[in-house]
Amino acid sequence: MSVAIVCASHTPLMYRGPASNETEQRVRTAFEQLGAFVKAFEPDYVIQFAPDHFNGFFYDLMPSFCVGAGAVSLGDWGGGTGPLDVPEQTALALVDHVRSEDFDVAVSYRMPVDHGFVQMWEAVLGDFKSVPILPIFVNAAAPPIPTYRRARQLGESVGRFATKSGKRVLFAASGGLSHDPPLPSIKDAPPEVRERLINGRHPSPEAKQAREKRVLEAAALAEAGKGPCKPLNPKWDEEIMEILRSGQIWRADALDTDHVRETAGRGANEVLAWVSAFAALGAGGKFTMEQEFYEAIPGWITGMAMMAASQVDTSH
């Protein structure tokens, strides 16, 4: 048995929003380094925690957590489409394990996933189909969302499952860090937006184009230091990365989801996925950081971060 982790921010604006050539190259290089780490680790499969952006999950039924026994990429923002290589029997065994530890997760045999899941693999490996992925959706966009404590506890349970499996398991997370995309709230949404948040499946090409246009316009304003998006918060980002690299993942329990949203933006609670993944790694014992990258990129509306770590071998 051996476990490791890779985490990366995602953004639909990656290489599309305003950023210098130098910034883009630094991001590409960091993803290439993550790819080398993943290939060297040679995982039997990946357990990935990631959010959605009202592309696959909606308010007609919004779980806190959902395990995919099968998954299909929606291909938003130009990503690839089609089924992920999900190890179905392993996913169902994982569900039984977390149920035995009092987690009532939802299950999907055809989980729709957006760029929140697949973009990092297209950046890291060139294709999300090149490695078996067991996806776990973490609701980070549609309040009420789970607490950081609960996300940590679920991650630890998943980590105990992986530790017992005898497999080489790579944990992964995607999202955040500070991140304030133009995402509407159902509390004050007009009727047509409210309906999209409740059941926005299968949008028309015109609706998708209008949504992308809004995001690209927000990116141009963010690059110019103007609203509507909150400015990035590199100080908060560093505090989060410090908690993760410390191995003291329980410190994230003190994070309040409403305060995170106010401090670091409407997408910042995607860090819930990172907390789950690092908690899973920590459940197997001590770990050592292997790679880190961070750059605040206003035109991509995200604090762009990457982290990789591997478990310390204590068998000798």
Judge whether 7 and 307 are in contact, CB under 8 Å.
yes
Distance CA 133, CA 149 (A): 25
Q: Please choose, from the candidates 121, 137, 165, the residue with its C-alpha nearest in 3D space to the C-alpha of residue 283.
A: 165
Q: How far apart are the first and last CA of the chain?
A: 14
Q: Classify 6 as helix, strand or coil.
A: strand
Measured in residues, the chain has a length of 316
**Cis omega (within 30 of 0) on the bond before 134?**
no
Distance CA 275, CA 307 (A): 12
* Burial of 11 (C-beta count, 10 Å sphere; 0-12/13-18/19+): buried
Distance CA 189, CA 134 (A): 34
Residues 6+ apart with CB under 8 A from 239: none
Considering the candidates 10, 97, 115, 259, report the single residue annotated as catalytic.
Answer: 115
Distance CA 73, CA 117 (A): 8
Residues 6+ apart with CB under 8 A from 240: 176, 177, 252, 271, 274
**Is 179 labeled as catalytic in the residue annotation?**
yes
**Is 10 labeled as catalytic in the residue annotation?**
no
The H or E element that residue 89 is part of is helix 88-100
Considering the candidates 10, 53, 97, 179, report the single residue annotated as catalytic.
Answer: 179
Residues 6+ apart with CB under 8 A from 192: none
Q: If you search the block for the tokens 């776990």, which residue do you land on?
A: 136
Which of the residues are catalytic? 115, 179
